Structure 1
Amino acid sequence: MKLPPVASSCLLALGIDCISNVIAQRMKAWRDGAPFVFDRVLFLQMAILVTISAPINFYWQNWLERAFPGWKMEKKKRTADTSLDAEEKQVFLKDDGEDKKVVDEEVRVRNWWNIFRKWFTDCITMGALLNTTMFLVVMGILKGKSGGMIWTDVRNEELKIIWDSYKVWPIANFFSTTYCPVERRIVFLSGCGLVWNIYLTLVAARL
C-alpha cells in the first residue's frame, strides 16, 4: 500500500532525525570524556518533536509553493516544423512576412523572483522563526517546564539558534526550493539537516 506523501515524507524525516540524535549523544559522550550511555528520554523527546514538526513543515512547504510558484509559463517563438499540423503542436502559427512560419508556444521557465521570495520567507524570516519557536516550546513542554521557564528559553536561546541556522540553511533552502519537488522537500531538508539536528540535540540536552 502506497503511503500518502505527507506520511512517507514524515517517516523518512523521523528516521533521519533519529540517526542524528544517536550520533549527537555519542559525540556528547566523547566530548565529555564519559562512557556512552544511551539517553532514551532525550531520544524519545526528539522523536516526538519531529513527529509534531514534520507534518507542520510539510504543509508549510506546500503553502510556500502555492504562494510563490517556482515555475511560470512564458511565450517563446521558434520556427515551425511544417511536418506537424497546428493541432499536433498545440500552438498557433503565423506568417512572419518572409515565407517562414514561426510558432508562438508556451514553455515552462523558473520564476526566480518567486524562488527568492520563497527562500527568504522560509529560511530567513518565518520558517526560521516557526521552527526555532516550535523546537523550544515543544522541548520545554516535554521536559515539564512551566510557561515562564519556556518563555525564558525562547528569549535566551531563540536568536542564537536562528543566527547559527544561517550558517546551514540558506544554501540548503535555495537548492530545496529551486530543484526539489515539494512533496520530497522535507526529506531533502532532513538529510541536509543531519548535522543541524545533531546541534539541536546538544541544545536540547542543556535546556
Structure 2
Amino acid sequence: MALPPIAKATIQSAVLAATSNLLAQTLTSYRHETPLIVDWVPVFQFVMYAVVNTPPNFLWQEFLESSFPAYHISPTPTAIASASSNDDKALEKQAAEGKLVEVKLNLTNTFIKTILDQTVGAAVNTFLFSLFIHFIQSAMDRPLGTPLSTPDRSVAYLLSLFFGSLVGAKGKEVGYGQVDWSAVVQSSKGEFWPLMTAGWRLWPFVSVVNFAFIKSVEGRTLVGSLAGVAWGIYVSLFAAR
C-alpha cells in the first residue's frame, strides 16, 4: 500500500533532519579537532520537529500551488500565426501533432508564491522553530551536560525519559511543566531576525531555481532535499550554541 504524499514528505524530512544534525556534529568535531561523540538527543529533537512541522508546511505548499499555479496553457507561436492567417489546414496539422498549445511558466504566480513563502511562510516557520527547540531543550533537562559522554548514554537518557520504568532506569518524564515560557518566547524573539536573514540567503534562490528551471517533481525534490540538508546543518549548529 503506497503512502500518501504528505506521509512520504514527513518521513523524508525526518531522515534529512537526522542526517543534517549528525553532519553538524561531525563538522563541529572537525572544527574543534575533538573526537566525534554522537549525541542522539539533539538528533531526536530535530527529528521530532520535522515530524511536527512537515505536515502543515506540506499543506501550505499545496495551498500556494493551487492558488497560484506554476504553469499555464498558452497557444504556441505557430498556432497563433496559423490562426492569424486563417490557415485551417495548418491548424489541423498542428492539432494532430499536439503543437497547438504549450505549457509555460507563469512568472507572476511564481513571483507571488516566492514572496508569500519567504515572508509569511518563513516568518511562521522561523518563530515556531525557535519556540519548539527552546521548549524541548528546556523540557528535556540534561543533568549529564551537553553533549553526553558517549552515544550509548545519550540513547539511555532518551529511553529513560520516555520509558524509564521499562528499561530499568531512574530517568524522569519529559518535564513539560518546568518550561519557562517567557524565557522561551524571549529567546525566540532574539533569534528571529538572524534566522530569517540567514534563510533569505538560501531559500529564495532555491525556490526560483525549482520553479523556473526544474520541471520534474523528482528534480525539484532533489534540489529541495539538498538545500534542506545544508539548512539543517546551519540550524543544528545555531541551536547548539
- Alignment TM-score, normalising by the size of structure 1: 0.80
2:73 corresponds to: 73
Q: Which runs of 5+ in 1 are unaligned?
A: 81-92
Instruction: Select 1:115's aligned residue among 97, 110, 117.
Output: 110
Distance 1:152 1:187, change over 3 A: farther
Measure how far apart 1:119 and its partner are. Answer: 1.2
Is contact 2:14–2:48 with CA below 8 Å preserved after alignment? Answer: no
Question: Do residues 164 (structure 1) and 198 (structure 2) align?
Answer: yes
Q: 2:23 aligns to what SS in structure 1?
A: helix
Bigger relative contact order, structure 1 or 2 (CA pairs below 8 A, ≥6 apart): 1
CA deviation vs aligned residue, 1:56-94 (integer Å, no higher than 9, x gap): 2211111110111111122346469xxxxxxxxxxxx97
Task: Show the counterpart of 1:86.
Answer: none
Matching residue of 1:3: 3
CA distance 1:77–1:177, shift in 2 (3 Å):
closer
- CA shift for structure 1 position 180: 5.3
Amino acid at match of 1:57: N
Instruction: Out of 70-79 and 150-159, give the one that drifted further.
Output: 70-79
1:137 aligns with 2:131: yes
Instruction: State the aligned residue count.
Output: 192
Cα separation, 2, equivalents of 1:180 and 1:126: 25
> Hey, what's the Cα distance between the residues in 2 that align with 1:4 and 1:184?
19
Residues 76 and 177 from structure 1, CA distance in 2 versus in 1: closer, same or farther, beyond 3 angstroms? closer
Residue type at the aligned position of 1:131: N
Contact 2:79 2:101 in 1 (8 A): no
Number of the residue aligned with 1:88 = none
2:159 aligns with none
| Equivalent residues of 2:45, 2:136 under 8 A apart | yes
Q: Which structure's residues are more often helix, by fraction? A: 2
The change in CA–CA distance for 1:182 and 1:55 in structure 2 (over 3 A counts) is farther
TM-score (norm 2): 0.70
Measure how far apart 1:172 and its partner are. 0.8
Q: Name the residue aligned to 1:87.
A: none
Other-structure match for 1:203 = 238
Secondary structure in 2 aligned to 1:152? helix
Q: Which amino acid aligns with 2:6?
A: V
Mapping of residues 61-100 of structure 1, within 5 Å: 61-76=61-76, 78=78, 96=85
For residue 121 of structure 2, the aligned residue among 118, 121, 127 is 127
> Runs in 1 of length 4+ with deviation above 6 angstroms?
none
Q: CA RMSD in A?
A: 2.7
In structure 2, give the amino acid aligned to 1:62: E
Deviations 1:88-134 (A, max 9, x none): xxxxx97946x6635394432211110111111112x1121122112
Instruction: Go from structure 1 to structure 2 and tell me whether the alpha carbon gap of 1:181 and 1:66 turns closer, same or farther (over 3 Å shift).
Output: farther
Q: Which moved more, 1:176-185 or 1:22-31?
A: 176-185
Cross-structure match for 1:13 = 13
Task: Report the secondary structure of 2:129's partner residue.
Answer: helix
